[in-house]
């Protein structure tokens, strides 16, 4: 017996929020800046100048409120580097207090985190994803010519002491750059109660990806036993999933892998992205967008914004097509997309 797909509501502001394939959108990735104090080779090309016209805290809260009324339950603030915004605490308070929003997360490089770790939690942030690709100062300088590894590590330690419900450490793995550090990064994260996650390099910048299967073999060869974690969460929990990671168990904690190239996760996509200037992007791997900022500043009503959102998601493809020949040439940088 098959279950019929949910039908779009007659009220544009009411849930569910569906894409062209009938997938239910429950997770908003909201970029609040495309500027960053780092220049990582795989994310932010040296030529990237950034957008000039970012949404303010009130506009971010309004857009999120509309998405929440349509069924979004989880919000992640991304960048660029979100903590570069001087009004970051106001943004977090405004979004975390919205009806319907159950979970607020931030992805950060941790360079500004040491003094903000506790205030962010008090402002309603439930989870931090901490970007750390290496424990070596020399390798860090190879990945980014800007930034300071010691400052990042102090920020991570501050987050570990701040009492967050969830902390994750994200590492983009590049062959011949940091792939030999995977076991050390697992140990570093687990010592601090953090879940490490290893991400296959996507075709946005420089570097050669390392397949997830190879990383699993590398960890097992290092003496770390890994057992796949069963995917037995209930429907409600699944609707609030943090994303496409697959997790494995060890004696010291969980290890996650995000595999956009070798283990395509598009079939279960529940995400919609809004860039820092208000452009809605229905898919990570494309350029189609809806200019929500122009609508807001042109006096659009909430219903008109909801109609524009639904129209854009009606063009959402069934997958990102990263591996199709020539597609890499059409992609924006990660900094331009918003993570």
Q: Is 125 marked within a binding site?
A: no
- Summarised one tens digit per residue, pLDDT across range 289-300 is 789 999 999 999
Residue 128: its H or E element: strand 127-131
- Summarised one tens digit per residue, pLDDT across range 198-222 is 999 987 668 899 999 999 999 999 9
Q: Is 36 marked within a binding site?
A: yes
- CA-nearest of 40, 27, 50, 81 to 204 is 40
Taking the whole predicted model, whether its pTM rises above 0.85 is answered as: yes
For residue 331, what pLDDT is reported? 46
Residues 6 or more apart whose CB falls under 8 angstroms from that of 246 comprise 212, 228, 229, 231, 256, 257, 258, 259, 263
Q: Is 249 marked within a binding site?
A: no
Q: Is 266 marked within a binding site?
A: yes
Q: Is 42 marked within a binding site?
A: yes
Q: Is 85 marked within a binding site?
A: no
Contact criterion met (CB below 8 Å) for 51 and 333: no
DSSP 303: H
For residue 230, what pLDDT is reported? 84
Q: Is 43 marked within a binding site?
A: yes
For residue 195, what pLDDT is reported? 98
Q: Is 273 marked within a binding site?
A: yes
Q: Is 197 marked within a binding site?
A: no
Residues 6 or more apart whose CB falls under 8 angstroms from that of 232 comprise none
Q: Is 40 marked within a binding site?
A: yes
* Dist CA 109 CA 317 (whole Å): 30
Q: Give the SS3 label for residue 214.
A: helix
DSSP 82: G
Q: CA distances (Å), 239 to each of 42, 156, 223, 302, in order? A: 30, 28, 35, 24
For residue 283, what pLDDT is reported? 74
Residues of the chain with pLDDT under 50: 1-3, 233-241, 328-331
Backbone angles phi, psi at 104, to 5 degrees: -125, 125
First to last CA, the chain: 38
For residue 249, what pLDDT is reported? 96
Tokens (6 digits) for 273 = 């992205």
* Dist CA 195 CA 275 (whole Å): 27
* Dist CA 131 CA 59 (whole Å): 27
Q: Is 80 marked within a binding site?
A: yes
Sorted by where each starts, the structural domains of the chain and their CATH numbers stand as 27-229+240-320 (3.20.20.70)
Please state whether the peptide bond connecting residue 45 to the residue before it is cis, i.e. omega within 30 degrees of 0: no
* Dist CA 272 CA 17 (whole Å): 10
For residue 20, what pLDDT is reported? 85
Q: CA distances (Å), 19 to each of 173, 315, 321, in order? A: 31, 8, 17
Residues 6 or more apart whose CB falls under 8 angstroms from that of 138 comprise none
Q: Is 92 marked within a binding site?
A: no
- Compute, in degrees rounded to 10, the torsion defined by CA atoms 58, 61, 62, 67: 170
Q: Is 299 marked within a binding site?
A: no
Residue 88: how many CB atoms within 10 A of its CB?
23
């Amino acid at each position: 017996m098959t279950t019929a797909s949910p039908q779009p509501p007659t009220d544009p502001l009411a849930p569910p929020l569906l894409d062209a394939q009938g997938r239910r959108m429950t997770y908003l990735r909201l970029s609040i800046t495309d500027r960053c104090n780092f220049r990582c080779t795989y994310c932010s090309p040296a030529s990237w100048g950034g957008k000039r016209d970012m949404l303010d805290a009130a506009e971010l809260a309004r857009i999120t409120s509309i998405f929440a009324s349509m069924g979004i339950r989880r919000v992640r603030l991304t960048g660029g580097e979100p903590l570069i915004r001087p009004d970051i605490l106001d943004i977090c308070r405004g979004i975390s207090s919205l009806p319907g929003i159950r979970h607020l997360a931030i992805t950060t490089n941790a360079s500004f985190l040491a003094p903000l770790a506790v205030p962010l939690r008090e402002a309603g942030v439930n989870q931090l994803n901490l970007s750390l690709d290496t424990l070596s100062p020399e390798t860090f300088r190879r990945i980014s010519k800007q930034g300071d590894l010691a400052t990042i590590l102090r920020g991570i330690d501050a987050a570990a002491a701040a009492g967050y419900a969830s902390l994750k450490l994200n590492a983009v793995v590049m062959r011949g750059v940091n792939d030999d550090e995977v076991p050390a990064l697992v140990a570093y994260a687990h010592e601090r109660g953090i879940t490490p996650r290893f991400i296959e390099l996507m075709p946005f910048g420089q570097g050669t990806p390392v397949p997830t299967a190879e990383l699993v073999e590398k960890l097992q060869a290092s003496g770390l036993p890994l057992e796949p974690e069963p995917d037995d969460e209930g429907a409600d929990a699944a609707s609030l999933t943090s994303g496409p990671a697959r997790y494995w168990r060890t004696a010291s904690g969980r290890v996650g892998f995000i595999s956009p190239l070798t283990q395509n996760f598009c079939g279960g996509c529940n995400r919609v992205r809004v860039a820092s200037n208000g452009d809605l992007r229905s898919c990570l791997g494309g350029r189609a967008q809806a200019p929500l900022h122009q609508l807001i500043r042109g006096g659009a009503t909430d219903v008109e914004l909801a109609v524009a959102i639904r129209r854009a998601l009606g063009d959402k493809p069934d997958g990102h097509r990263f591996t199709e020949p020539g597609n890499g040439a059409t992609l924006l940088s990660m900094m331009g997309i918003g993570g």
